[in-house]
Amino acid sequence: MESNGCASSGLPHRAALVLARGGSKGIPLKNIKNLAGVPLIGWVLRAALDSGVFDSVWVSTDHDEIERVAKVWGAKVHRRGPEVSNDSSSSLETIQEFIRQRPEVDIVCHFQATSPCLHPHHIREALQMITEQGCDYVFSVVRRHQFRWGEVHEKGQNPTALNIDVAHRPRRQDWPGELYENGSFYFSKRKALENGLKQLGKIAYYEMLAEHSVDIDVDIDWPVAEQRVLRFGYFGREEKAAVRLFLCKVSGCLTNGRIYTSVSGEDLVAINARDVAGIQMLQREDIQVILISSVNEPLSRGLLEKVAQQVGCGLRIGEQQKGLEVEELMREKELRWDEVAFMGSEAEDVDILSQVGLNGVPCDAPVADLIAAKYTCQRPAGHGAIREFAEYILMMKKKCTSQVHLDHIDRAHF
């Protein structure tokens, strides 16, 4: 991914900034922990980059691994100083350090990495409130229908209702609810930040729906957030194209790379029944599956053909540059890159992984450190990784072919 530069002479420089400190008392390196196959920070960076409204997209961090992941996902990196890298450092202090070193920045759009259901249209609409409506400070909120009570500090004291009349408790559909910060983003002009947000002019909030207001604070939220992001997250510009072909490497994806040799000298490999079932799931949905290998593959041609026969799909053994052969295959089948899904595992697969509409890697794949895969499986090669990625492909196909409003919560009946 690359930032879409939109600066031109006379226009304010708009910078996206994600604060991602290495230390976390709740979840170690939470900002780059995989959520639904993607590093947590990747969800926010993908939305920011695809919004197309920023002159620069930054991650402020003090950690080498976070820096590596940020660069892989297309962001620039600001190495914060030690004085704003401790547990007591505030977000405001960290942002002020950033703008002191970036005099060209006029508007800072601060995103929290812990909000993975952010979409590009949220960003574009909120930024317009500053660039076109004259706001100095804009923050994101969510509407909640929760009745609040005051805390009791003395024994025998009755709690006090803060936002309801107990005798006339309203029905949900008759009460507009209240607005709460959801922590997704805070946009501000430079001057307001330099003044420590003490002299704000025009302030506005941007309301987001509940399904997009996911904030990960503690580990117990992780499985819940994963289900939410799979349904309501932003998966990139390619999500509108339905996959028609799935290409999968044999060694390192379908098999775990181990080769067993019998007494008679025959080579043997193991195939997971869950992976075979995953391939069959795709085929039932009219997605063609082809196994691919190279002439340098340690498995013999005869064994590769037997594996393909056992799995029930096609086989291509390449003899030239793999990317060129895939292009020839696509021309043969009249396919575009965004209609192809690919699972690879090695450095030689990076070229294809970076071009297809959907890519995936097993969790133990060496290539996981070289490319930001759309989906990093929780399972290793040969142990159900293909089944897991197949389910992801089918989920994305469903999102592409179903009407958008069916995936949204009806606020009046939720």
Please tell me the distance from the alpha carbon of residue 2 to that of residue 104, in angstroms, as a whole number: 20
How far is the CA of 298 from the CAs of 157, 252, 259, in angstroms?
A: 77, 12, 9
**In sequence order, which residues have a C-beta less than 8 Å from that of residue 282 and are 6 or more positions away?**
246, 289, 390, 393, 394
How far apart, in whole angstroms, are the C-alpha atoms of residue 144 and residue 210?
8
What span, in angstroms and rounded, lies between the C-alpha atoms of 248 and 292? 6
SS3 225: helix
Nearest Cα to Cα of residue 114 among 135, 136, 93, 91: 91
4, 49 contact by CB (below 8 A): yes
Residue 329 has which token pair? Answer: 């295959």
Q: Which two tokens stand for residue 166?
A: 């107990």
Catalytic residue among 169, 172, 237, 301: 169
Q: Among candidates 271, 347, 348, 275, which has minimal Cα distance to 303?
A: 271
- Quote the CA–CA distance of 360 and 254 in Å, as a whole number: 12
Q: Which DSSP helix (H) or strand (E) runs through 204?
A: strand 203-208
CA distance 367 to 350: 7
The closest alpha carbon to 117, from 412, 408, 411, belongs to 408
Write out the two tokens for 273: 């029944």
Q: Is 172 a catalytic residue?
A: no
Inter-helix orientation angle 301-311/273-284, to 10°: 60
Q: Within 10 A of 9 (CB to CB), how many other CB atoms are there? A: 4
Catalytic residues: 169
